[in-house]
Amino acid sequence: MVSERESELRQRAWDAAASVVDPEIPVLSIADLGVLRDVTLDGDRVEVAITPTYSGCPAMNMIALEIEIALERAGFRRPKVLTVLSPAWTTDWMSEAGRQKLRAYGIAPPQAASSRRALFGAQAIACPQCGSDKTELLSEFGSTSCKALWRCRACREPFDYFKCH
Amino acid sequence: MAAANIQVSETPLVLYALRRADDALILGHRLSEWCGHAPMLEEDMALSNIALDLIGQARELYSYAAKAEGRDNDEDKLAYLRDVRQYRNLLLVEQPNGDFAQTLVRQLFYSAFADLYWRAMMTSRDATLAAIAAKSEKESAYHLRHASEWIIRLGDGTDESHARAQAAIDQLWAFTGEMFVVDDGERALIHAGIAIDPGTLRGRWLTTLSDVVKEATLTLPQNDWMQQGGRAGRHSEHLGHLLSELQSMQRTFPGQTW
C-alpha cells in the first residue's frame, strides 16, 4: 500500500518535473506537451520518464537537465531522467490547456491531418493572430523539428504551426 | 596521435542495427552539408531538420548496436572511430549532394523506402527496434512528402529543372537495388521475427515512386542492373572523404567532449 506520505512526495516530484518548460516554446510545460510520462519514487530517490518528441530534437538534453535541477531544488537527491521511446510521442497527448496556450503565444496548435501522405495537402490551418483560415504553407519544416512555417493571407503575418505527429 | 579504429563484434543483430544506423548517419551528414547553402532559407531549414531527424535515429540505433554487442563501444565510438571499410551503409546515401535535384532524388528513393520499412518494422519482436521504428516511421512520412513535392515541382517545372531531375534519377537508379537485398545473417533475423524482409516492400516502393515520377512528367529507368557493396563495407570513393570531415575532431583530439 502506498502511504500518504509517499503519494504526497510523488505529487511533489511530479509538480517539480512538470514545472519544466520547453526551451523553444516557454509557454508550454513538458506536462502540457505530453513529454513527461511518469515519475516513480524509491525511498527518496526519484526517477522521471520522458519521451522525445522527435528523434533528433536538441531540446531533449536541455529538458532532461532542467528536470534534474528542478527536482534537486525541490529537495530530491540524485534524480534520474530516463528516456522512453515506446509508446512513441504523439501530438494527441498535448493537453487542451497546452493547445490554448500555444494559440495565445502565436503558434497554431496541431490539427489532425486528412492524410499525412497526401501531397500538396489542402489542410486549412487557422491563423493564430487573426483567426482567418485563408492561410498557406511556406515550409513543411520550420524553426524547430516540431513546427512548420505558414503565412496568413488575410493579415499577411507569417506564423508557426505545431505539426501533427 | 590520431585515435585508432575500434573493433566491432558483428553478430547478426549488431550488424543489423549498424547498417540502419550508418544509413541514417551518412544521409543525415550529407543533408547537413546543405546547411547555409540551400537555394532558399526555407529549404535550408527543411534539409537541416530532416538531417536532425536522421541523426537522432542514428543515435538510437548506434546505442542499441552497442548494447547488443555488450562490449565497451558506445554510440560515439561507433560513429567516430570506425574506418570506411567498417561502415555498412547503402551506397545510395553516401552519394554526393550534386545539385538540388540530385539531393532530392536521393532523398525520394531513400524516404520512399524508409517510410515503408519502418512502418513494417513496428511489428518487430524486438521491443527496442519496434520503438525506434515507430518514431522513425512518423518522421519518414514527412521526409517522403517533402521529397515527393519537390520532385514534382522540379520535373514539372522548367526545361532546366526537368532535365536535371531526370539526370539525377538516371544516375542514382543503380544504387536502389541494395535496399532490398539481405544476407544470411539478416535472413535469420527475419525468420526470428526481429527484422522484416525488405524484398517484400519493393512492389509498394515502386508504386510510390512511379506515382510521383509520373506526376512529375519524369520516367524511371528500365535497366535493372544494380550496384552493391555498401552493406559489406565496399564503398564508393565518396565515403572516405565524407568520414574525414565527420570524424576529424575525434580523430584529432581523441575523447574530446563538449
In terms of domains, do A64 and A24 share one?
Answer: yes
The answer to whether the Cβ–Cβ distance between B132 and A57 falls below 8 Å is no
In terms of domains, do A76 and A105 share one?
Answer: no
Residue A56 per-residue DSSP state: T
C-alpha cell at A140: 513543411
pLDDT on residue A2: 61
Using CA atoms, how far residue B200 sits from A3, B84, B225, in Å, is 54, 30, 19
Q: How many Cβ pairs closer than 8 A exist between chain A and B? A: 86
pLDDT on residue A106: 93
pLDDT by residue for chain B (258 residues), tens digit each?
A: 467 899 999 999 999 999 999 999 999 999 999 999 999 999 999 999 999 999 999 999 999 999 999 999 999 999 999 999 999 999 999 999 999 999 999 999 999 999 999 999 999 999 999 999 999 999 999 999 999 999 999 999 999 999 999 999 999 999 999 999 999 999 999 999 999 999 999 999 999 999 999 999 999 999 889 999 999 999 999 999 999 999 999 999 988 887
Q: Is B134 on the interface with A (CB under 8 A)?
A: yes
Which of B25, B45, B137, B211 is the best residue to mutate to test the A interface, defined by the most A CB atoms within 10 Å of its own CB?
Answer: B45
Q: Does domain B12-252 have CATH number 3.30.70.141?
A: no
d(CA B126, CA B123): 8
pLDDT on residue B69: 97
Q: Is A163 on the interface with B (CB under 8 A)?
A: yes
Considering only CB atoms, A56 lies closest to which of B53, B138, B149, namely: B53
- Average pLDDT estimate for A43-66: 89
Q: What are phi and psi of B34, to 5 degrees?
A: -80, -15
Q: What residue numbers bound the domain in which A17 lies?
A: 4-89
Query: Where residue A32 falls among pLDDT bands split at 50, 70, 90?
Result: very high
d(CA B111, CA A69): 39
Q: What are phi and psi of B198, to 5 degrees?
A: -65, -25
Indicate which CATH number applies to the domain containing A34: 3.30.300.130
In terms of domains, do A100 and A57 share one?
Answer: no
The answer to whether the Cβ–Cβ distance between B131 and A163 falls below 8 Å is no
pLDDT on residue A145: 83
In terms of domains, do A75 and A108 share one?
Answer: no
Min Cα distance B208 → chain A (Å) is: 11
Q: Is B38 on the interface with A (CB under 8 A)?
A: no
| CB-based contact A141:A148 (threshold 8 Å) | yes
Considering only CB atoms, A117 lies closest to which of B52, B134, B145, namely: B145
Angle between helix axes B12-32 and B41-69 (nearest 10 degrees) is: 160
d(CA B140, CA B33): 20
In terms of domains, do A138 and A63 share one?
Answer: no
What number of residues does chain B have?
Answer: 258
In terms of domains, do A71 and A101 share one?
Answer: no
In terms of domains, do A9 and A66 share one?
Answer: yes
In terms of domains, do A85 and A102 share one?
Answer: no
Chain B residues near residue A141 by CB distance under 8 angstroms: 42, 45-46, 48-50, 142, 146
In terms of domains, do A58 and A104 share one?
Answer: no
Chain B residues near residue A140 by CB distance under 8 angstroms: 46, 142, 145-146, 149
In terms of domains, do A30 and A47 share one?
Answer: yes
- Average pLDDT estimate for A39-68: 90
The answer to whether the Cβ–Cβ distance between B142 and A138 falls below 8 Å is no
In terms of domains, do A84 and A110 share one?
Answer: no
Q: Is B122 on the interface with A (CB under 8 A)?
A: no
Chain A residues near residue B149 by CB distance under 8 angstroms: 119-120, 140
Exposure letters A89-124 (e unless 16+ CB within 10 A, then b): bebebbeeebbebbbeeebbbbbeeeebeeeeeebe
Residue from A47, A36, A35, A37 nearest A77 by CA? A47
Which of B145, B205, B210 is the best residue to mutate to test the A interface, defined by the most A CB atoms within 10 Å of its own CB?
Answer: B145
Chain A residues near residue B43 by CB distance under 8 angstroms: 139
pLDDT on residue B140: 95
pLDDT in tens, A66-90: 999 999 999 998 899 999 988 889 9
Alpha helix segments (H runs only) across B33-99: 41-69, 75-80, 91-94
pLDDT on residue B243: 98
pLDDT for residue A56 is more than 90: no
The answer to whether the Cβ–Cβ distance between A141 and B55 falls below 8 Å is no
In terms of domains, do A78 and A11 share one?
Answer: yes
> pTM above 0.95?
no
pLDDT on residue A113: 61
Using CA atoms, how far residue A85 sits from A89, A94, B134, B202, in Å, is 8, 17, 9, 28
Domains held by chain A: number = 2
The answer to whether the Cβ–Cβ distance between B52 and A145 falls below 8 Å is yes
Burial classification of residue A86, based on how many CB atoms lie within 10 Å of its CB (0-12 exposed, 13-18 middle, 19 or more buried): middle
